[in-house]
């Protein structure tokens, strides 16, 4: 078979099975107007990144991050169950607007006074659940093939 960049033709790889979790985005959330995680803050926060889930493979979302929007829908003043339902119906590719938690730093901190929280960058994060799982499956198959050769 033909090779591309040294990789064997996929059709020639030995067939083997491995469980791959394709359900969900791979993280848990806390918060909402009815379940405030932080006093006087009804925001939605990442409480846990599930091992081997889409978010863990992607690597950009971290525990403690505040999720500001899902697919351009702001999460302000929403019930926890409403946000969970929003995630469940979001589709295969989910765009998250995230405020990363501020990590403790040594030295003086500055505040610009313009409403911008300074050291907390905003990021648009794309968590492509199926694409990440497919890439992981191909990598796994390639590594299994290399072990047998």
CB count within 10 Å of CB 71 equals 14
* Chain centroid, CA 11 distance in Å: 31
Q: What average pLDDT does this structure show over 118-123?
A: 37
Which range among 92-96, 110-114, 142-146 shows the weakest confidence by mean pLDDT? 110-114
Q: Tokens for 14, please give them.
A: 């030995």
User: In this predicted model, what pLDDT tens digit does every residue of 4-54 receive, in sequence order?
Assistant: 555 555 555 555 454 444 457 889 999 999 999 999 999 999 999 999 888
The pLDDT value given to residue 41: 93
Residue 67: name the closest of 23, 26, 31, 22 by CA.
31
Distance CA 62, CA 49 (A): 7
pLDDT of res. 148: 63
Query: How far apart (Å, rounded) are the C-alpha atoms in residues 12 and 33?
Result: 54
What distance in Å separates the CA atoms of residue 73 and residue 90, rounded to the nearest whole number? Answer: 10
CA 81/CA 137 separation, integer angstroms: 32
Check: pTM over 0.85? Answer yes or no: no
pLDDT averaged over every residue in the chain: 72
pLDDT, tens digit, 9 for 90 and up, residues 67-78: 999 999 999 999
CA distance 87 to 81: 10
Distance CA 127, CA 132 (A): 8
d(CA 131, CA 94): 12
């Amino acid at each position: 078979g033909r090779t591309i960049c040294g990789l064997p033709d996929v059709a020639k790889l030995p067939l083997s099975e491995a469980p791959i979790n394709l359900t969900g985005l791979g993280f848990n959330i806390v918060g909402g107007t009815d379940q405030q995680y932080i006093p006087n803050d009804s925001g939605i926060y990442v409480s846990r990144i599930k091992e081997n889930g889409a978010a863990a493979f992607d690597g950009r979302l971290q525990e403690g991050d505040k999720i500001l929007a899902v697919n351009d829908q702001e999460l302000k003043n929403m019930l926890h169950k409403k946000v969970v339902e929003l995630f469940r119906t979001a589709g295969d590719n989910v765009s998250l607007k995230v405020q990363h938690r501020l990590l403790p730093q040594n030295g003086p901190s500055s505040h610009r006074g313009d409403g911008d929280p300074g050291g907390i960058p905003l990021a648009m994060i794309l968590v492509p659940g199926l694409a990440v799982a497919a890439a992981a499956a191909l990598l796994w198959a390639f590594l299994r093939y290399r072990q047998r050769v």
